[in-house]
Each structure stands twice: as C-alpha cells, then as structure tokens.
Amino acid sequence: MKALFWARLICALLSLGAMLASLQCAVAQTAGYPNRAIKMIVPYVAGGAADITARLVAQSMSDSMGQAVIVENRPGANGTIGADMVAKAAPDGYTLLLTASGPLVINPVLYKKVPFDPIKDFSPISTLITYQYVLAVPYASPIQNISELVAGARAKPKEFSYGSTGIGGGGHLAGELFGLLANAEFTHVPYKGAAPALADLLGGQLTFTFEPLVTGIPMIKANKLRGFAVSGINRSKGMPNLPTMNELGYKGFNITQFQGLLAPAGTDPAIIRRLNAEAVKALKSPAVIRRLVDDGGNEIVGGTPAEFAAQIQSDLRLYGKLITDAHINAE
C-alpha cells in the first residue's frame, strides 16, 4: 500500500511539474510577444475600404510594437476564404483578421454552409470603425438626383445596374433595400472587391453603387462621382451636406457596417488584451484619424473584445432578418 501511495504521489508531483513548466512557457511566450512579424489577413482585394484601414492600422501597430505587421490580401467567396484562413490558423497572436461585417455577420446567415463559426472560431479584439455607404453615380451620368434614378429604373426595369463587393455584401444589401423601398428593380453585379466595382462604375459599365464612404468621398470631392445620399440614420461627418436615405423618404433605411480585428479562437487572453490596446492606440493616430474620419467619414470605435463580441451577435440577428425579408438567395 505504501509503495502504491508513493507511486501515486510521485506521478502527481510529476504531473504538477509538467503543468507548471507548461504555464511558465506560456507566460514567457506571452511576455515576449511579439518577437516576430504579425500577419494581418484582409479577405478582400487591395485598394478597398478594409484594405485602407488595415494598412493604416498595421503601420501604426508596427511602429508601436517594434515588429512588422504585414497586410496580406486573401480575397474570394465574399470574404469567406480569408476569414477561414484565420479561423484555422494557430492561436498564437501572429495571424489576425481585419474584416468588414460580411464574413462574420452576413455570410453565416446568407449561405447554408460556411466553413467556420463566427462566434466559436474567433477571439474578437476590437471593433475598429463603423461606416456608411454613399449612393453615387458617375459624375458624367445624365442622372442628376435620386428621383431621376428611381424614375428611370421604374420605366426600364432591371436595365439600371449597381455593383458591390459580392452577394450579401453591404453594398448589395443596401441596393436590395433601396429597390424594396423605392418599388424599383435594379440589376445587381457582384465583384470580388470594392476596387473593381468602382473601376467599372467610373467606366460607365454600372449605373450606380453604394460605395463605402472611405473610397467614395475622395471620388466625390474630385468630381468623379456624384453622391445622392448616405445609408445610415445620421448624416456623415465627412459629407455633412449629403442627406440620409431616410431624409429623402426611404423610411427605415439603415445600412451601417463595421470593420474589426480578430484572432483565432483560443488565443491567450493576455495577447488579446495587448492587441486590443495597440489597436485602440492606432485609432488615435493623427494619420489614421485624418484618413478614416476626416477624409473617409467613418466613425472611430476602438471598443473592448467583449463589446465587439456582443456586436457580432447583434448584427447576426439584424442581417438575418433583412436577408429573409428581402428574399436574398446566394445559392
């Protein structure tokens, strides 16, 4: 019996030693974080709204943390491909996701099967910004206001087209809601990102678009686009002269999305706290504020991981209802 007691005691001590060693290793790794480059995945093509935010935030975080934060564009499947890469990455804090709302709160309710769970497979770090869209036509378009756009679409159903970053993207949902409230039929043309959609709009291949303000405002100021209205409840600080869709009579129109930073589920909470602090700090940088707020009309958020997690769950319910009401089917 004594031999058995001592054997069990020795095993318990060895197990405790192993646990303490593992804990010390984890603490050491966290304390030394980051000790190499961090990869920030953007699930869209370069040049779009999320890519602009990513490069600004990554540069600021690089300067502050003393390690490179490298932006890597992995577009495809309306953001699902890049998001899935991060969901399946090692939870060590060296692979992050900077994404707009779509992959997290729209795709999971739009498609029957998504390769990740937006709640279980990610560790939210922070909501970075929220943003609206601007309903815009090419500056050379003969359409001078929203009334002419609606009248033309009613007269020639489906001949008036608009582009978006893909089925279920914010621009697509805004276009669908516009059609419902205006009692007009528009043809949706999905793209793999904001940049190619904008290029075709400027080239006259599309009638209009709901363009993210961060890319739309510079085009409006340069007289390349003509803006009619913004998509949120309140006017944009970046374009205060533009009315909201609600003001123009499209009651209940509210399409506002977020951009946020996440890590794979299981990432050490201490690393999440560090990344949250660095991201919030980056959002206070004059260069970031100038580009995203002053020039882009976005709203800085910089909230806690818990607040971002709550927003994801709330938006899943919101967009689930809109997709059902608008009968949007991606499959």
- Residues 155-164 have pLDDT tens digits of 998 899 999 9
Among 47, 173, 49, which residue's Cα sits nearest to residue 99? 49
β-pairing, 208-212 vs 133-138, is antiparallel
Residues in the chain: 331
Question: 113: number of CA atoms within 13 Å, CB side?
Answer: 1
133-230 folds as D-Maltodextrin-Binding Protein; domain 2 (3.40.190)
| Domain regions of the chain by residue span | 38-131+256-325, 133-230
Verify cis geometry, omega within 30 degrees of 0, for the bond prior to 196. Answer: no
CA distances from 300 to 44, 63, 254, 294 (A): 21, 20, 18, 11
pLDDT tens-digit profile, the chain (331 residues)? 556 555 565 655 666 555 555 445 444 446 789 999 999 999 998 988 899 999 999 999 999 999 999 999 999 888 999 999 999 999 999 999 999 998 999 999 998 899 999 999 999 999 999 989 999 999 999 999 999 999 999 999 889 999 997 788 889 999 999 999 999 999 999 987 778 888 999 999 999 999 988 888 899 999 999 999 999 999 998 889 999 999 999 998 989 899 999 999 999 999 999 999 999 999 999 989 988 888 778 899 999 999 999 999 999 998 898 888 878 877 6
pTM above 0.85, yes or no: no
What pLDDT does residue 15 have?
63
Q: Which one-letter amino acid corresponds to residue 192?
A: K
CATH assignment of 38-131+256-325, among 3.40.190.150, 2.102.10.10, 3.30.465.10, 3.20.20.70: 3.40.190.150
What pLDDT does residue 32 have?
86
